[in-house]
Structure 1
Amino acid sequence: MTATLDVFDRHESAVRSYIRSFPTVFTTAKGHLIHAEDGRQYIDFFAGAGALNYGHNDDGMKAALLDYIANDGITHALDMGTSAKARFLERFHEVILAPRGMEHRVLFPGPTGTNAVETALKLARKVTGREKIVSFTNAFHGMTLGSLAVTGNAFKRGGAGLPLDNTVFMPFADFIDGGFDSLDYLERMLAGGGSGMDMPAGVIVETVQGEGGINAASFGWLKRLNDLCARWDLPLIVDDVQAGCGRTGPFFSFEPAGIKPDIVCLSKSISGYGLPMALVLVRPDMDVFSPGEHNGTFRGNATAFVTATEALRFWTDDALSREVERKGAIIEEALTAMATKHPQLQPEVRGRGLMRGIALGVEGAADQVCAEAFANGVIMETSGPDSEVAKLLPPLTIPEDALREGLDIMARAVDTVAARIAGADRPAA
Structure 2
Amino acid sequence: MLTNIFETFESNVRSYSRSYPVVFQKAKGSILYTDNGKEYIDFLMGAGALNYGHNNEYIKRSLLDYMQGDYIMQGLDMFTVAKSEFITAFNQHLLEPKSLHYKFQFCGPTGTNAIEAALKLARTYTKRSNVVAFMGAYHGLSLGSLALTSNQYHRQVAGVGLNNVTFIPFEQNGPEGFDSLAYFEMMLEDSHSGIEKPAAVILETVQAEGGINVASAEWLAALYAICKRHDVLFICDDIQIGCGRSGEFFSFERAGITPDIVVLSKSLSGYGLPMSMLLIRPDLDIWKPGEHNGTFRGYQLAFVGGKAALEFREAEGLDAAVQRKASYVTRFLEDEIAALDDRIEVRGLGLMQGIDLSRFRDPLMAKKIAQDCFKRQLIVECVGREDKVLKLLPALTIEDDVLERALEILRDACLQHIGQKALS
Q: Smaller-chain TM-score range? A: over 0.9
Give the equivalent residue in structure 1 for 2:229: 231
Q: Which amino acid aligns with 2:405?
A: E
Check conservation: 1:338, 1:414, Cα contact below 8 A.
Answer: no
Q: Give how far 1:162 is off.
A: 1.7
SS at 2:387 equivalent: coil
Given candidates 345, 349, 365, the residue that maps to 1:348 is 345
Check conservation: 1:373, 1:413, Cα contact below 8 A.
Answer: yes
Check conservation: 2:337, 2:411, Cα contact below 8 A.
Answer: no
Give the equivalent residue in structure 2 for 1:180: 178
Residue ranges of structure 1 left out of the alignment (5+ in a row): 421-429
Q: Which amino acid aligns with 1:132?
A: N
Most deviating of 176-185 and 84-93: 176-185
SS at 1:93 equivalent: helix
CA distance in 1, matches of 2:331, 2:391: 15
Q: Give how far 1:146 is off.
A: 0.3
CA distance in 2, matches of 1:166, 1:289: 21
Alignment of 1:116-155 (within 5 A): 116-155=114-153
CA distance in 2, matches of 1:318, 1:157: 41
> How many percent of aligned residue pairs carry the same amino acid?
48
Q: Give how far 1:254 is off.
A: 0.4
SS at 2:170 equivalent: coil
Residues 290/160 of structure 1: CA separation in 2 closer, same or farther (3 Å cut): same
Q: Give how far 1:11 is off.
A: 0.8
Q: Give how far 1:331 is off.
A: 1.3
Alpha-carbon displacement from aligned partner over 1:154-190 (angstroms, at most 9, x marks no partner): 1011121221100000110121243321101100011
SS at 1:4 equivalent: coil
CA distance in 2, matches of 1:61, 1:410: 30
Given candidates 301, 304, 310, the residue that maps to 2:302 is 304
Check conservation: 1:96, 1:315, Cα contact below 8 A.
Answer: no
Give the equivalent residue in structure 1 for 2:163: 165
CA distance in 1, matches of 2:35, 2:228: 54
Check conservation: 1:349, 1:359, Cα contact below 8 A.
Answer: yes
CA distance in 2, matches of 1:396, 1:159: 35
Most deviating of 218-227 and 177-186: 177-186
CA distance in 1, matches of 2:308, 2:316: 16
Alignment of 1:304-383 (within 5 A): 304-316=302-314, 319-343=317-341, 346-361=343-358, 362-383=362-383
Give the equivalent residue in structure 2 for 1:241: 239
Give the equivalent residue in structure 1 for 2:191: 193
CA distance in 2, matches of 1:121, 1:343: 43
Give the equivalent residue in structure 2 for 1:214: 212
Give the equivalent residue in structure 1 for 2:68: 70
Most deviating of 3-12 and 371-380: 3-12
Residues 250/271 of structure 1: CA separation in 2 closer, same or farther (3 Å cut): same
Give the equivalent residue in structure 1 for 2:93: 95
CA distance in 2, matches of 1:307, 1:340: 38
Given the two structures, how large is their TM-score scaled by the length of structure 1? 0.95
SS at 1:100 equivalent: coil
Given candidates 201, 204, 209, the residue that maps to 1:203 is 201
Q: Give how far 1:384 is off.
A: 0.6
Alpha-carbon displacement from aligned partner over 1:265-292 (angstroms, at most 9, x marks no partner): 0000000000000000000000010011
Give the equivalent residue in structure 2 for 1:268: 266
Most deviating of 170-179 and 293-302: 170-179
CA distance in 1, matches of 2:201, 2:238: 14
Given candidates 32, 35, 38, the residue that maps to 2:33 is 35
CA distance in 2, matches of 1:164, 1:66: 44
CA distance in 2, matches of 1:350, 1:211: 14
Q: Which amino acid aligns with 1:394?
A: P
CA distance in 1, matches of 2:416, 2:175: 31
Check conservation: 1:238, 1:261, Cα contact below 8 A.
Answer: yes
SS at 1:358 equivalent: strand
Given the two structures, how large is their TM-score scaled by the length of structure 2? 0.96
CA distance in 2, matches of 1:338, 1:384: 22
Check conservation: 1:133, 1:166, Cα contact below 8 A.
Answer: yes
CA distance in 2, matches of 1:316, 1:103: 20
SS at 1:62 equivalent: helix
Q: Give how far 1:419 is off.
A: 4.8
Q: Give how far 1:385 is off.
A: 2.3
Give the equivalent residue in structure 2 for 1:385: 385
Give the equivalent residue in structure 2 for 1:423: none
Check conservation: 2:205, 2:215, Cα contact below 8 A.
Answer: yes
CA distance in 1, matches of 2:147, 2:114: 14
Check conservation: 1:251, 1:315, Cα contact below 8 A.
Answer: no
Give the equivalent residue in structure 2 for 1:397: 397
Q: CA RMSD in A?
A: 1.5
Q: Give how far 1:314 is off.
A: 3.5
Check conservation: 2:58, 2:312, Cα contact below 8 A.
Answer: no
CA distance in 2, matches of 1:340, 1:108: 42
Check conservation: 1:251, 1:321, Cα contact below 8 A.
Answer: yes
Q: Give how far 1:340 is off.
A: 3.6
CA distance in 1, matches of 2:267, 2:330: 23
CA distance in 1, matches of 2:93, 2:315: 9
Alpha-carbon displacement from aligned partner over 1:246-271 (angstroms, at most 9, x marks no partner): 11100000001001100000000000
Give the equivalent residue in structure 2 for 1:12: 10
